[in-house]
Structure 1
Amino acid sequence: MSKIYIIHENSEWTDHLTKRLNELALPYEEWFLDQGIVDLTTVPPNGIFYNRISASSHTRDHRYAPELTEAVIAWLERHGQTVINGSRALRLEVSKVNQYTALNTAAIQTPKTIAAVGKEQILKAAKELNLSSFITKHNRAGKGLGVQLFHSIEALESYVFGPTFEPSVDGITLIQQYIEAPEPYITRCEFVGGKFVYAVRVDTSEGFELCPADACVIDDLFCPVGEETESKPKFEIIEGFDDPIIEKYERFLAENNIQVAGIEFIRDQNGNIFTYDVNTNTNYNSDAEEKAGKYGMLELAKYLGMQLEPIKQ
């Protein structure tokens, strides 16, 4: 029987999807790819395959999950199987350099960024960027890993050569223009089937590591998922969000064969939009969705069901 195959390495981020699939009585099977084999002499089962591998998999001791997934997807695509968020999406998920070059190709503005390998090269890149404020981040990240704000080369040097320096798992550190927003928040736009679903306002006043998933590693100090301040929630769906950037994002997703994504941007003091993250393993915050009456995983489950329908016949 044809079914939906969910490729992932984190059950806590997948349970919300399987719950919706059960509600819709859709057949599915989970492929947990933290380790395994890929027999290239065999033919894949019939169905559709949805890739949910995350760039932060190494933080859950699944260091080679993206590499294994790339092999599995290559095998699936070789045999003409339908892969939601296939090989191109995976390449963008695990590399912000790939993200930014693809966004720029689509005429979408990103912060000025220099990629560096090696501690001395990180300092050199910051000097070449020549900005009063800048941030560092990991090329392969997720959850805002490695994001640090600096206001001087001296402060960066102390960090890079100090005991708290945190290298990217792929060795590439990004030095990036710091975009100062008039208010401490960013906007995350969610897409299913390449089409806009809703936008979320995310409060960044307590740090950079902001993940919308309800399940979050407790040790992630700056991941205030589901928590609320006295005045406003961390995650809030924006009613009636409408901006020309949506059309650009949808075109970008189509050009890169990405069906499901959360794209994040920030506005500077002049209202200019800077896009800085494309998350192809997108998650949703249940508190925000409950208040707005909009449900990302339900829309995703419906979309997967529609993709499965012609294969079942």
Structure 2
Amino acid sequence: MSETIKPIGIYYEHPDWFKPLFAELERRHISYARIDAAHHRFNPAETDSPYALVVNRMSSSAYLRGNGQGIFHTAGFLTHLEQIGVRVINGTMATSIETNKARQLALLSSLGLSYPETRVVNHVSQVLPAAQELRFPLVVKVNIGGAGAGIVRFDTLEGLEAAVNADQINLGIDQTALVQEYVQPRGGHIVRVETLNGRFLYAMKVFTTGDSFNLCPAEICAIPDEPAADFCLTDAPKKGIQVEEYTPPTEITAAVERIAKAAKIDVGGVEYLIDDRTGEVLFYDINALSNFIADAIKVIGFDPYSRFVDYLEGQLKKTQLAEIV
């Protein structure tokens, strides 16, 4: 590549999750720059960017590593980039969905897709009234979670009331939480579907241990002695969790693609389960921070990072052609 061509900016926070992406870019001799999302500044008066395009890989779990400021900073930075015409992979719309579970449910509702019965609250005083409208057991989960953080199960109203009275309810860094009915997944597994450019890339079943109760796959795979902030579902094969490649029914794949396109997610995952009581398909998480599965070639038969970099190369060429025109 010519030295005059601007690099791809990789905007990220986690120190380890993106090593395979960096390795693939380096293997192809694609110029890129690492942008530390946790320690960052920008000039909103700038009208030009040093990057040909920017790949947004900011993590919602950053606050668990002391980098919560990056979550809120990202919205302004990406808005600035888009306003000056920089192509952003997983831009402001995708980020707004990734970092807000309430928005995820609103999007699912707008698409006519089912999810666990939920109430959204912005004060602890609303938790008990919300719970009284739902069926126990239920979970209280923070609106900005990531890596499965901030989810607690309650089996009875009395237990939840005791937690409220003891000031043990955490509403998270934006003081918003979901009070949501717990759902037992049929077959003891959830399904994560990965998409790229709005299209199905691969899917996998992730089996529970039988001891977990949370709806997020990072908790549904109970990892002993593993800090939630450092465990990712995509590490499941390395952690001894049973994972299987899976091809969902056509109607589910189509629904996932609708979600990805509506959320403007260039690369991301959608998770769902089958309610063991009713057989209903319930979507419960939209993830714009896809860290592709470990041991991918062994599990799914190909390297998704290679496909992702193919996509980035294509986007880079489009950007360069647009500049010429």
Structure 2 length normalisation: TM-score?
0.86
Alpha-carbon spacing, 1:15–1:211, altered in 2? closer, same or farther (3 Å):
farther
Greater relative contact order (Cα < 8 A, sep 6+): 1
2:80 is paired with a residue whose SS is helix
Residue in 1 that maps onto 2:178? 174
Q: Which runs of 5+ in 2 are unaligned?
A: 220-224
Counterpart Cα distance in 1 of 2:302 and 2:97:
27
- 1:218 to partner: Cα distance: 4.1
Matched, 1:312 2:317: no
Q: Deviations over 1:161-197 (max 9, x none)?
A: 4475433111112111222223221000001111111
Q: String of CA shifts for 1:77-134, please: whole Å, max 9, x gaps.
A: 11111111100111111100011101111122111110112222111110122x1321
Aligned to 2:18: 14
Q: Does 1:254 align with 2:261?
A: yes
Preserved contact between residue 143 and residue 177 of structure 2 (Cα < 8 Å) = yes
On the 8 A contact 2:183/2:275 being kept in 1, the answer is yes
Q: Which residue of 2 aligns with 1:299?
A: 307
Shift of 1:25: 2.2
- Cα deviation, 1:279-313, whole Å, max 9, x if unaligned, reads 10111221354233222222111111111123335
Listed as ranges, the matches of 1:109-124 within 5 Å are: 109-124=114-129
Match of 1:3 in 2: 7
Over 3 Å counting, the alpha-carbon distance change for 1:234 and 1:158 in structure 2 is farther
The separation in 1 between residues aligned to 2:107 and 2:229, in whole angstroms, is: 31
Contact 1:194 1:259 (8 Å CA) reproduced: yes
Which residue of structure 2 lines up, in the alignment, with residue 91 of structure 1?
96
| Change beyond 3 A, Cα 1:108–1:75 | same
2:310 matches 1:279:
no
Aligned sequence identity (%): 26
CA distance in 2, matches of 1:161, 1:30: 46
Find the counterpart in structure 2 of residue 47 from structure 1: 52
Aligned AA (2:289):
N
How far apart are the structure 2 equivalents of 1:233 and 1:191? Answer: 22
Match of 2:274 among 264, 267, 272: 267
Query: Normalising by structure 1, what TM-score?
Result: 0.89
Q: 1:246 to 1:226 in 2, by over 3 A?
A: closer
CA distance in structure 2 between the aligned counterparts of 1:243 and 1:127, rounded to whole angstroms: 37
Task: Tell me whether 1:58 sits opposite 2:63 in the alignment.
Answer: yes
Q: 1:197 maps to which residue? A: 201
Shift of 1:145: 1.4
CA distance in 2: counterparts of 1:294 and 1:118, whole angstroms: 46
Classify the secondary structure of the residue corresponding to 2:228.
coil
Deviation, structure 1 residue 139: 0.6
Instruction: Give the secondary structure class of the aligned counterpart of 1:12.
Output: coil
Asked if residue 236 in structure 1 is aligned to residue 240 in structure 2, the reply is: no
Aligned length: 305
Q: Distance in 1 between matches of 2:237 and 2:265?
A: 30
Task: Name the amino acid aligned to 2:275.
Answer: D
In the other structure, the counterpart of 1:187 is: 191
Question: Does the alignment pair 1:79 with 2:87?
Answer: no
CA contact (8 A) 1:235 1:285 kept: no
Tell me how far apart the structure 2 counterparts of residues 39 and 6 of structure 1 sit (CA, whole Å): 18
In the TM superposition, residue 262 of structure 1 has moved relative to its aligned partner by 0.6
Q: What is the rounded CA distance, in whole Å, between the counterparts of 2:167 and 2:248 in structure 1?
A: 43
1:208-247 pair list within 5 angstroms: 208=214, 210-211=217-218, 218-220=226-228, 223=231, 225-226=235-236, 233-238=241-246, 240-247=247-254
Q: Give the helix-richer structure, 1 or 2.
A: 2
Aligned 8 A contact 1:210 1:222 in 2: no
Summarize the Cα distance change of 1:233–1:90 in structure 2 as closer, same or farther, 3 Å threshold.
same
The amino acid of 2:283's aligned partner reads T
- Matched to 2:69, the amino acid is Y
